[in-house]
Amino acid sequence: MATELSTFAELKKAPAGGEQAPAPVRVKEIDAQGRAYATGRRKNAVARVWVKPGTGKITINGRDQTIYFARPTQRMMIQQPFDVSERGGQFDVIATVSGGGLSGQAGAVRHGISQALTKFEPGLRGTIKANGFLTRDSRVVERKKYGRAGARARFQFSKR
């Protein structure tokens, strides 16, 4: 049953058909040491990341980022969340990464940094999410199937 509205004032007061619940208010999530923790994943790599206010030092598995990630593209990938949120050099990052290769590990660290930044400063969530850094890249290697040479490849056919 639809009710008729005669003025715009009534329209504002009328309940909407598809009302949505208000967005959850995000709060700062930090531990006793003043750090924000998050887990980042990509391919088979998993990164545990802690972010705290500091000078911009990034440590991965106890080593400096320049030593652990030798390629500049991997280091650039890790810096992206800070560049987008304009927080370069304001946070120290401590990460432990396991599994996968270096490229997957760099992606996992970037995902973890992005999540930890949004936990430390909830106001940054919009800009970081708009650049797609909060979304886990779910592409993984397809498993080899029984009776096949690989994931999809068949064994070579022999006519004779």
Distance between CA 77 and CA 146 in Å, rounded?
A: 37
pTM (2 d.p.): 0.81
- Tens digits of residue pLDDT in 70-124: 999 999 999 999 999 998 889 999 999 999 999 999 999 999 999 999 999 999 8
Distance between CA 55 and CA 70 in Å, rounded?
A: 21
> E strand or H helix at 128, and its extent?
helix 125-130
Instruction: Delimit the domains of the chain by residue range.
Output: 34-130
Determine the CATH number of domain 34-130: 3.30.230.10
